[in-house]
């Protein structure tokens, strides 16, 4: 008959373990950031207008041949402003091409933003209607993708880049690409 | 609008979203509208992650709703539209994930728990009824316990 006396305790213990597991699993502050299903897959094809050259379109094909960093930003995005000096410092090292992906911005606002804070990008493409952004699985700015020379997405980061993220995540991924070539 | 953008700023300090005002969607007939609403209610907003695509007022949700309607008009089935979004945003966009090894506990866990609970209750009821019975009539059943 001891069985039924211990049963409530056992149920309580099981529930406690379950709740503890829930708390443990949610300890990661990055849990709201979605993993990209694009990692290891070809970068989505696009053909987008170049921000600084009226009438010129840039395609994803033209970017092939060497790795590049695609940075999603908008003049409406406060965190992009925070990220900007970090990205500029990284772009100055010339480790790889940094491409700007201007997401759902006003043309004039985007140009003014770059004039004001400086332009770290070798080229900026503008996605005015946000259709190309959907193909990339973009859902908030800033977001940053690392694409290798064959056009395969190798890494994605959601949120503003920091020196730590660049040193601990981006550069190791880039070294892997460079070694494989 | 200001309070909304302030609220969004505080809710997601690391990220932002564009805030241009979208035009409302218009439907050709009630059948299309019904199918659209049923579909977006099953999809999760990727930005504001505890709302469905139907409920969310985030800009990306507007864009994705527009995309869903455009795909419907291209003649895509509900399954194809879901696959389209899963290919871009991952399984996360589905409120009802596909049954696979990674999600079977999610699908069948509640049923398993219910079964275990039912078994425990049956055991207790059985044990209690056994103790209240006269000892001489049901000897062999008591021995089980």
What's the pLDDT tens digit per position in A87-141? Answer: 999 999 998 999 999 999 999 999 999 999 999 999 999 999 889 999 999 988 8
Nearest-angstrom CA–CA distance, B134 and B141: 12
Alpha carbon of A173 to those of A36, A71, A176, B136: distances in Å? 15, 16, 5, 76
The pLDDT of residue B98 is: 73
A46 contacts in chain B (CB < 8 Å): none
Smallest CA–CA distance, residue B34 to chain A, in Å, is 24
**Cβ contact, residue pair A34, B67, below 8 Å:** no
Q: Report the candidate in A144, A145, A143, A154 with the shortest Cα–Cα distance to residue A179.
A: A154
The pLDDT of residue A35 is: 73
Give the pairing of strands A143-147 and A68-73: antiparallel
Nearest-angstrom CA–CA distance, B15 and B2: 17
Nearest-angstrom CA–CA distance, A107 and A140: 19
pLDDT 10s digits, A15-49: 999 899 888 877 766 666 777 888 999 999 999 99
**Cβ contact, residue pair A134, B120, below 8 Å:** no
| Residues B103-131, mean pLDDT to the nearest whole number | 87
**Cβ contact, residue pair B59, A104, below 8 Å:** yes
| Residues A73-84, mean pLDDT to the nearest whole number | 93
**Cβ contact, residue pair B46, A34, below 8 Å:** yes
Query: Which residue among A3, A79, A135 places its CB closest to the CB of B127?
Result: A3
ipTM value for the complex = 0.78
A37 contacts in chain B (CB < 8 Å): 86-90
pLDDT 10s digits, B75-89: 999 999 999 999 998
* Strand ranges inside chain A, DSSP E: 47-49, 57-59, 68-73, 97-103, 123-127, 143-147, 153-158
Q: What is the DSSP letter of A30?
A: T
Smallest CA–CA distance, residue A129 to chain B, in Å, is 8
Smallest CA–CA distance, residue B30 to chain A, in Å, is 26
Distance of CA B19 to the CA centre of its chain: 27
What is the average pLDDT score of chain B?
78
How many beta-carbon pairs below 8 A join chains A and B? 84
Distance of CA A181 to the CA centre of its chain: 23
A4 contacts in chain B (CB < 8 Å): 124, 127-128
Q: What is the DSSP letter of A169?
A: I
**A136 in B contact zone (CB under 8 Å):** yes
Radius of gyration for the alpha carbons in chain B, expressed in angstroms and rounded: 26
């Amino acid at each position: 008959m001891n069985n039924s006396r211990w049963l409530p305790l056992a149920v309580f213990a099981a529930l406690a373990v379950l709740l503890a597991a829930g708390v443990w699993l949610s300890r990661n502050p990055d849990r709201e950031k979605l993993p990209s299903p694009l990692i290891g897959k070809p970068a989505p094809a696009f053909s987008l207008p170049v921000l600084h050259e009226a009438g010129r379109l840039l395609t994803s094909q033209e970017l092939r041949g060497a790795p590049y960093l695609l940075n999603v930003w908008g003049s409406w995005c406060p965190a992009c402003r925070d990220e900007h000096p970090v990205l500029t410092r990284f772009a100055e090292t010339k480790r790889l091409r940094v491409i700007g992906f201007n997401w759902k911005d006003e043309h004039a606002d985007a140009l003014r933003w770059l004039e004001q804070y400086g332009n770290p990008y070798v080229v900026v493409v503008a996605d005015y209607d946000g259709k190309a952004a959907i193909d990339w699985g973009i859902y908030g700015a800033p977001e940053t993708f690392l694409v290798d020379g064959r056009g395969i997405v190798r890494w994605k980061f959601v949120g503003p880049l920091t020196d730590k993220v660049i040193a601990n995540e981006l550069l190791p991924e880039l070294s892997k690409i460079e070694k494989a070539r | 609008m200001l309070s909304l953008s302030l609220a969004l700023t505080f809710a997601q300090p690391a990220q932002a979203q564009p805030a241009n005002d979208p035009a409302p969607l218009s439907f050709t007939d009630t059948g299309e509208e019904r199918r659209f609403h049923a579909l977006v209610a099953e999809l999760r907003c990727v930005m504001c992650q505890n709302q469905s695509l139907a409920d969310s007022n985030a800009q990306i949700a507007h864009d994705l709703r527009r995309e869903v309607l455009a795909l419907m008009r291209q003649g895509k089935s509900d399954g194809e539209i879901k696959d389209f979004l899963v290919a871009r945003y991952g399984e996360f966009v589905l409120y009802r994930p596909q049954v696979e090894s990674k999600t079977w506990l999610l699908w069948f866990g509640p049923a398993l728990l219910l079964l275990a609970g039912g078994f425990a209750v049956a055991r207790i009821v059985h044990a209690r009824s056994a103790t209240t019975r006269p000892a001489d009539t049901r000897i062999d059943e008591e021995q089980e316990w």
